Amino acid sequence: MDSRTDSGTNDAFDTEGAGVTVRRALELPGLRSGLPEILAGSEGLGRTVRWVHAGEVPHIASLLKGGELLLTTGYGLGTRPAEQRAFVRTLADRGIAALVVELGPRFDRLPAAVVDCARGAGLPLVQLHREVPFVTVTEEIHTEIVNGHYALLQRAEEVHRRCTQALLGGGGVPQVLEILAGFSGNPVFLETPDGRLLYAAGEGPEGADPLQVWEGLRGQHKDVPPPAGSVLVEVPGSGPGAGSVRARLVLLPVRAPLAPVHRMAAERAAAVLAVVLMQARQEEELAARGRGDFLTDLAEGRISAGDAPAQARVLGFKPGRSPLLPVVMRLAGTLAPGGTTARSGGVECGGGWAVLGRAVAEELASLGMPVLLGVRPVEGRVPLLLGLRSAAERPAVADRVAAALRAGVERAGMHRPGARPPVVVVGAAGGWASASDGLRHAAETAAAAQCLADRPWYDARRLDIDLLLWRLRDHPDLAAFVDRAIGPVREHDSRAKPTLLPTLETYLAHAGRKAETARELHLNRQTLYNRLARIGELLGTDLDDPQTVLALSLALRARRHVS
């Protein structure tokens, strides 16, 4: 329903300013009985009368706010032309709607200075040839204004009613936006709080696609307010505090001006959209949890490899005969969105598993391969299966998947500065039977990998030793073994600059090759030899002995897992 053609609209009522016009006020019985004569400013008769005021003091302008129709008998005008011009000029500067002067004891005709000044300022000036009760005029116009506001509210409520009916009939966000676009006669957009477009409805000038309108006016200017005359209404979120925002509703005046009634309607539509988006997120989170439950049941053997393909097809995953690549992302405790509200730039991401799942899914969509992604809030995990074209592309796909997963976490606002990035573990590629083992192995390895140095992704097949040590992390024998093997070196580094442990770790990582060790540590040969000699002295052992090397390697790995 377009606001310009709504049959219930009184043409004399000004939807631009939510009041009656000067022209309409002169047509009401109170002023009409005074035989009004327009002396100046006839081009301003369409101005909005916000309120009516009567007064007789010279400084009356200081008591006004603008938009008033001022009733007076002229005693405040003064007697000299300069005073009269100053009186009219201050009223025009204040922005009143019109000046109405009743002729009588003070003036039988308004002075030329008053008329000329009003004409020059474009201020509607009206003289009344008969006496009228000002109180009657005030009551009539104020009643008209109140009735007009009520009419606006009715029209806005009609939009709310139609939006609600659309939802009850199975509609969603697009239908709500279409109703609002039709009502305003302008395109309507739903943006994320950071300015990304979610939905568009309506038409631009000459039937232009609304996406072209948004790209021209908003696409490159997301960080600045919309153009003048636009309507921007925030769609509230469900996070703690009064400032949480889920989206923004934007109406752009590209086909017709927007009026206060359109803002009212947008505010009511925003309340409806808040409910729609909350319900959609809940449904989306339930679906993501359902996929996560399926992948977990597959990993733990509660779903057989024979039954898994059919159940996966129901969930939309159809890899055919492609090799399956199991991947698990684990969020650190400070990142996990379950039960907390994470924020990115003040934007609500609360309840975050639906937000996270959607962001990660959108990032993974660019891979162009079948993906089944779920969430497991209790464990803080995001398990997924991908359908590869061949097992040979596993390393390249793993790089892209890990980057997409981490980008999704960033987009969802889950990564806090200074916190450890999420851990991504990639299992071995194979069929449904190996996918079950691969998911379980990757999930366990992801927990162990949280203690390791950060990498874009970890190969689950290369972390079996770390996984074994992690499982023994609470056993006192493991802590005793670490203390026996490298305790003296740890104690040395705790008292001075920690140099010996990093040297030993790098030396063992390079299989005892001193030249490569020195290059990585940026040491000269003699300094490295001195450090290795000091390590051997502290440990009372030969660093070239294979058994010693094995024990030290295990102890260095185990120290990351023990308390």
The confidence band for 276, taking pLDDT boundaries of 50, 70 and 90, is confident
Residue 416, SS3 per DSSP = coil
The H-or-E segment that residue 556 falls in is helix 546-558
Is 90 exceeded by the pLDDT of residue 98?
yes
Please report the pLDDT score of residue 458 as a whole number: 95
**Model pLDDT for residues 296-345, shown as the tens digit of each residue:** 999 999 999 998 998 888 888 999 888 999 999 998 754 444 433 333 33
At residue 532, the pLDDT reads 92
CATH superfamily of 171-278: GAF domain (3.30.450.40)
Cα separation, 563 vs 561, in Å, equals 7
Residue boundaries of the structural domains of the chain: 13-143, 171-278, 304-471, 476-558
3-state secondary structure of 329: strand
Contact 85, 113 (CB under 8 A): yes
Residue 351 above 80 pLDDT?
A: no
What is the reported pTM?
A: 0.51
Q: Please give the pLDDT value at position 213.
A: 78
* Model confidence at 33: pLDDT above 60: yes
**For the segment 502-516, what is each residue's pLDDT rounded down to a tens digit?**
999 999 989 989 999
State the DSSP code for 376: B
When comparing pLDDT for 563 and 255, which is higher?
Answer: 255
Alpha-carbon separation of residue 12 from 27, 71, 147, 218 (angstroms): 10, 21, 12, 34
- Please state, rounded to an integer, the average pLDDT across all residues of the chain: 84
Please provide the CATH number assigned to the domain covering 13-143. 3.40.1390.20
Residue type for position 408: G
| Band of residue 366 on the pLDDT scale cut at 50, 70, 90 | confident
Half-sphere exposure of 13 (CA within 13 A, CB side): 23
Give yes or no for a contact between 76 and 64, defined as CB atoms under 8 angstroms apart: no
- State the pLDDT at residue 534: 92
Do the Cβ atoms of 340 and 384 come closer than 8 Å?
no
The hierarchical CATH code for the domain 304-471 is: 3.30.70
Give the integer Cα–Cα distance in Å for 146 and 302.
68
Class of domain 476-558: mainly alpha
With a cut of 70, say whether residue 241 has pLDDT above it. no
pLDDT score at 212: 75
